[in-house]
């Protein structure tokens, strides 16, 4: 039954216009128990500077004011339109952590190395993907699980491109994660 739901949701996603696909995504989140890959909010530029230091936000690409507003809006919409968010894991990059904290509050957010950008350590991507898939597979709470990460990870995990501030709802299958819904935050 779960497999049929995943196939139907995927078909609806590709057939429906973006606004209707977003509404279908909210319907899934109202059911609860979903796993959401959320790409960090708007952080201008690409990549990180050469002097990047994971422990120092001043050396990283960070959220713009627009990104901070976007993160707050994401949190407000989740609170208004979805079952409660049970747990939030985030990449350790400052832009992802700030997105998670602004959207869902400090108490729910836990940094998780497996969600870090693969750009600096591409050889570890397969192990990181396995850790994220295992987390999704083991999740069984009634609230939603949000994983704040980077577009490269969403692509690697699902084969789907996602924009900054976009939510991709996934379900585990034997070979990884399948997209069953999306929410675009304008």
pLDDT digits (tens, 9 = 90+) for 124-146: 889 999 999 999 999 999 999 99
Q: How confident is the model at residue 88 (pLDDT cuts 50, 70, 90)?
A: very high
CA distances from 158 to 10, 162, 167, 168 (A): 12, 10, 13, 9
Per-residue pLDDT for 110 more than 70? yes
Cα separation, 72 vs 180, in Å, equals 24
Q: Which residue has the higher pLDDT, 51 or 5?
A: 51
The neighbour count for residue 73, using CB atoms within 10 Å, is 16
Per-residue pLDDT for 100 more than 50? yes
Q: What domains are defined for the chain?
A: 2-45+53-184 (3.40.50.1240)
- Pairing type for strands 144-149 and 176-184 reads unpaired
CA distances from 130 to 7, 11, 79 (A): 22, 26, 30
Per-residue pLDDT for 8 more than 90? no
Q: What is the pTM of this model?
A: 0.87
Per-residue pLDDT for 7 more than 50? no
Q: Which residue has the higher pLDDT, 74 or 49?
A: 74
Cα separation, 85 vs 108, in Å, equals 8
Q: How confident is the model at residue 122 (pLDDT cuts 50, 70, 90)?
A: confident
User: What's the pLDDT at 48?
Assistant: 80
């Amino acid at each position: 039954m779960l497999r049929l739901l995943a196939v139907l949701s995927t078909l609806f996603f590709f057939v429906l216009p973006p606004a209707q696909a977003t509404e279908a995504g909210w319907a899934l989140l109202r059911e609860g128990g979903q796993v959401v890959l959320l790409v960090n909010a708007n952080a201008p530029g690409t990549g990180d500077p050469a002097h990047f230091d994971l422990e120092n936000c001043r050396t990283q690409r960070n959220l713009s004011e627009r990104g901070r507003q976007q993160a707050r809006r994401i949190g407000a919409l989740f609170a208004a339109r979805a079952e409660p968010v049970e747990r939030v894991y985030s990449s350790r990059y400052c832009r992802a952590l700030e997105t998670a904290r602004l959207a869902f509050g400090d108490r729910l957010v836990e940094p998780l190395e497996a969600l870090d950008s693969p750009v600096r350590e591409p050889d570890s991507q397969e192990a990181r993907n396995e850790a994220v898939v295992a987390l999704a597979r083991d999740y069984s709470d009634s609230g939603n699980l949000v994983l704040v990460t980077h577009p490269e990870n969403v692509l690697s995990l699902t084969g789907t491109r996602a924009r900054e501030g976009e939510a991709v709802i996934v379900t585990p299958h034997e070979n990884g994660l399948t997209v069953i819904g999306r929410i675009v935050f304008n």
